[in-house]
């Protein structure tokens, strides 16, 4: 018998045999054996070989005009999360954001015969920038300031002024895109910011990317980062959630929630039809239904356990003189399910992250500008917390720094100051453009890029189609 040559399949199988301690996105298939019996049996059924069905329409349900079990599942999800309508997406929040922005630009107010105007939070995922430019919208960067860890942070008060001024002058913004819980571990104060933005421009459609915040609606300590928990009239909202990052859903499973009038709901469903595959993965869709069921029945307790483990991780590190300086504060004001680990000056965060991965099988969310980010999601166990704590205590030396990774026609030290870009310059992680078409490269950009390079980010120059 000839052995198949399949290097990727071999690599995936090899990794699957390892026991990983994952502080990034929730690894559902790796933790199924640790679930209580009723959930283990339910997930095993939808992951069985025969569950990857090539069926649709009358045989199971239509992905675009559901009337059977998919329709029932989406209605249950909408009711539970507090939306008027919910769609299940099998292409992650990258696809969900394209769907949401298409619908928002179609439904939002604007000037007649002029391209729709969209205001983008500087921490938006790259998919949002690509979708906005691809739709031909006029993109206005939201007012912002340079924050820590090489990121820019939304200036909420200035953004309220911008929306209000355009509304009063009859030049309203069609859509605003916000990031509830950015990849750097911070958190947008939605409870303060969203009502003020809606009041300033009530007909604008607000798209909120909750890629890292789907579970936040489940517990009082985290609900302030949950858009639909704060819903009020007359807000017109579209919320995207990468369910697999924080709930018990398979990878690429995402929700699009809509809160608003029937016209907005219809626009989102039209955008879904234009963008989504007609051959969705039924196991992914079924896992989104199970993720909602688990969240509804046991979500609050699951998030409470995760928060307790997050607090135990912080306490364990602060109680040991070898690791005390990693957590100089309790992280108040940030994402309550994240822990930012501050390294000493001169220590290469990407090298520490690589050591944790290769020698201790610990996966962390991000390394940038002298810090590491651990996401304590509902799949993290006490054994995972102990493994991370032991690993951080064990690391005594740091490997040599790795060089930056570049793609595209850009000099290794970045564009020259004063250069006008003809595309997006994106670092991954976190997948947030540092600058876009028509932007002039500044010393601020260069400093942020240098911080991302030190964190080992890949850098991409993405040209814009002409």
CATH of the domain at 439: 3.90.105.10
The answer to whether 248 and 287 have CB atoms below 8 angstroms apart is yes
Round the average pLDDT of the chain to a whole number and report it: 87
Which of 25-29, 41-45, 54-58, 413-417 tops mean pLDDT?
41-45
> Taking residues 89-94, what's their average pLDDT?
95
What mean pLDDT do residues 15-36 have? 87
Q: Which of 394, 427, 447 is the last residue of a domain?
A: 394
Dist CA 15 CA 35 (whole Å): 21
* Judgement on whether residues 197 and 346 belong to the same structural domain of the protein: no
Confidence of residue 408 (pLDDT cuts 50, 70, 90): very low
Q: Please, is 151 exposed, middle or buried when counting C-beta atoms within 10 Å of its C-beta (0-12, 13-18, 19+)? A: buried
Q: What is the mean pLDDT of residues 175-204?
A: 91
Nearest Cα to Cα of residue 135 among 103, 173, 92, 91: 103
- Do 232 and 247 lie in one domain? The reply is yes
Concatenate the DSSP letters of all residues of 289-302 into one string.
HHHHHHHHHHHHHH
CATH code, 244: 3.40.640.10
Task: Please give the average per-residue pLDDT across 344-354, as a whole number.
Answer: 79
Please give the residue that has the higher pLDDT: either 419 or 361.
Answer: 361
Angle 181-186-192 from CA coordinates, rounded to 5°: 70
- Which residues is 237 bridged to in the sheet? 206, 259
Q: Mean pLDDT across the stretch 323-330?
A: 78
Per-residue confidence band for 402, with pLDDT thresholds at 50, 70 and 90: very low
- Of 362, 394, 426, the one marking the end of a domain is 394
For residues 326 and 217, state if they share a domain. Answer: no
Whether 344 shows a pLDDT value over 70: the answer reads: yes
pTM of the model: 0.87
Residues 6+ apart with CB under 8 A from 250: 28, 29, 244, 281, 283, 284, 287
Mean pLDDT, range 239-255, rounded to an integer: 96
What are the beta bridge partners of residue 369? none
Looking at the structure, do residues 252 and 370 belong to the same domain, yes or no?
no
**For the chain, what percentages of helix, strand and coil (3-state, to nearest 5) are there?**
45, 15, 40
Range of the domain at 411: 405-463
Residues 271 and 328 in one domain: no
107, part of any domain: yes
Residue 19 lies in a domain: no
294, 313, 344 - which closes a domain: 294
Residue 111 has pLDDT above 50, yes or no: yes
Query: Are both 98 and 214 inside the same structural domain?
Result: yes
Closest to 335 measured CA to CA, from 215, 197, 236: 215
Output the CA angle 464-99-282, nearest 5 degrees.
120
Q: Edge to edge, what strands does the sheet with 205-209 contain?
A: 85-89, 254-259, 236-241, 205-209, 175-179, 117-120, 138-141
Q: Which residues pair with 120 in a beta bridge?
A: 141, 177
Which of 60-74, 103-117, 273-287 is predicted least confidently? 103-117
Give me the pLDDT at residue 48, please.
85
Instruction: Give 81's pLDDT tier (boundaries 50, 70, 90).
Output: very high
pLDDT-based confidence at 148, cuts 50/70/90? Answer: low
304 within a domain of the structure (yes/no): yes
399 within a domain of the structure (yes/no)? no
- Mean pLDDT score, 68-93: 96
Residues 344, 412, single domain; the answer is no
Q: 185: left (phi > 0), else alpha (psi -120 to 50), else beta?
A: left
CATH code of the domain covering residue 347: 3.90.1150.10
Q: How far is it, in rounded angstroms, from Cα 131 to Cα 94?
A: 9
At 155, the pLDDT band (50, 70, 90 cuts) reads very high
240 with 211: CB under 8 angstroms? Answer: yes
User: What confidence score (pLDDT) does residue 295 get?
Assistant: 96
Residue 257 has pLDDT above 70, yes or no: yes
Task: Check if the beta carbon of residue 253 is closer than 8 Å to that of residue 47.
Answer: no
Please indicate, yes or no, if residue 40 is contained in any of the structural domains: no
**DSSP letter (8 states) at residue 243:** H
> For residues 21 and 35, what is the distance between their CA atoms, to the nearest angstrom?
16
Lowest-confidence region among 204-218, 269-283, 420-434: 420-434
Same domain as 385, residue 304 = yes
Query: Contact, 342 vs 370, CB < 8 A?
Result: yes
**pLDDT (tens digit per residue) in 366-378:** 776 678 889 999 9
Verify that 314 and 251 share a domain, yes or no. no
463 against 42, higher pLDDT: 42
User: Do 334 and 187 share a structural domain?
Assistant: no
pLDDT at 1 over 80: no
Helix (H, G, I), strand (E, B), or coil: what is residue 279?
A: coil
- Please compute the mean of the pLDDT values over residues 125-139 and round it to a whole number: 93
Q: Answer whether 258's CB lies under 8 Å from 85's CB.
A: yes
CA pair distance 267, 261, nearest whole angstrom: 10
Residue 135 lies in a domain: yes
Q: What's the number of domains the chain is made of?
A: 3
Say if 99 falls within a structural domain.
yes
Per-residue confidence (pLDDT) for residue 398, from 0 to 100: 40
Buried b (16+ CB within 10 A) or exposed e, 172-192: bbbbbbbbbbbbbbbbbebee
d(CA 282, CA 18): 27
Q: What pLDDT does residue 94 have?
A: 95
Does one domain contain both 131 and 95? yes
DSSP 8-state class, residue 215? G
Please report the pLDDT score of residue 430 as a whole number. 74
Task: Tell me how many degrees the CA angle 305-182-136 measures, rounded to the nearest 5.
Answer: 140
Q: Is the pLDDT of residue 360 over 50?
A: yes
Placement of tokens 């199970």 in the chain: 290
Q: What is the pLDDT of residues 51-79, one digit of tens each?
A: 887 776 677 899 999 999 999 999 999 99
For the ranges 51-55, 151-155, 257-261, the one whose mean pLDDT is highest: 257-261
Q: What percent of the chain lies above the pLDDT cut of 90?
A: 54
Q: Is residue 416 part of a domain?
A: yes
Same domain, 454 and 359: no
């Amino acid at each position: 018998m000839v052995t198949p040559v399949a290097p990727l399949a071999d690599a995936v199988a090899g990794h699957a045999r390892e026991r990983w301690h994952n502080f990034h996105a929730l690894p559902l298939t790796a933790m199924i054996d640790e679930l209580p019996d009723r959930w283990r049996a339910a997930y095993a059924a939808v992951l069985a070989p025969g569950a990857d069905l090539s069926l649709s329409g009358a045989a199971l349900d239509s992905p675009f005009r559901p009337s059977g079990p998919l329709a029932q599942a989406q209605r249950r999800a909408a009711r539970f999360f507090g939306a008027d309508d919910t769609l299940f997406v099998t292409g992650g929040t990258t696809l969900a954001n394209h769907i949401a922005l298409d619908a928002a630009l179609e439904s939002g107010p604007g000037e007649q015969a002029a391209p729709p105007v969209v205001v983008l939070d500087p921490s938006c995922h790259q998919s949002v920038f690509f979708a906005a430019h691809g739709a031909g919208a006029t993109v206005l960067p939201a007012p912002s300031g340079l924050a820590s860890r090489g990121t820019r942070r939304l200036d909420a008060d200035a953004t309220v002024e911008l929306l209000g001024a355009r509304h009063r002058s009859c030049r309203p913004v069609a859509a605003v895109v916000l990031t509830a819980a950015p990849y750097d571990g911070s958190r947008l104060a939605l409870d303060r910011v969203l009502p003020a933005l809606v009041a300033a421009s009530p007909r604008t459609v607000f798209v909120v990317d909750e890629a890292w915040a789907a579970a936040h609606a489940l517990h009082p300590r985290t609900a302030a980062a949950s858009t639909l928990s704060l819903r009020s009239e007359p807000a017109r909202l579209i919320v995207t959630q990468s369910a697999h990052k924080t709930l018990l859903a398979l990878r690429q499973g995402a929700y699009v929630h809509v809160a608003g009038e029937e016209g907005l709901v219809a626009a989102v469903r039209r955008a879904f039809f234009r963008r989504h595959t007609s051959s969705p993965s039924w196991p992914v869709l079924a896992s989104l239904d199970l993720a909602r069921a688990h969240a509804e029945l046991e979500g609050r307790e699951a998030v409470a356990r995760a928060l307790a483990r997050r607090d135990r991780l912080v306490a364990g590190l602060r109680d040991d003189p070898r690791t005390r300086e990693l957590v100089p504060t309790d992280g108040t004001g940030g994402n309550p399910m994240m822990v930012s680990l501050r390294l000493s000056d001169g220590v290469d965060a990407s090298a520490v992250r690589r050591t944790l991965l290769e020698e201790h099988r610990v996966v962390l969310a991000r390394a940038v500008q002298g810090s590491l980010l651990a996401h304590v999601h509902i799949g993290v166990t006490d054994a995972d917390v102990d493994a991370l704590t032991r690993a951080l205590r064990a690391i005594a030396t740091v490997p040599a720094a790795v060089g930056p990774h570049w793609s595209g026609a850009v000099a290794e030290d970045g564009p020259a100051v004063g250069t006008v870009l003809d595309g997006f310059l994106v670092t991954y992680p976190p997948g947030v453009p540092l600058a876009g078409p028509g932007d002039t490269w500044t010393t601020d950009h260069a400093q942020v890029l240098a911080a991302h390079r030190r964190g080992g980010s890949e850098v991409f120059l993405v040209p814009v189609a002409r």
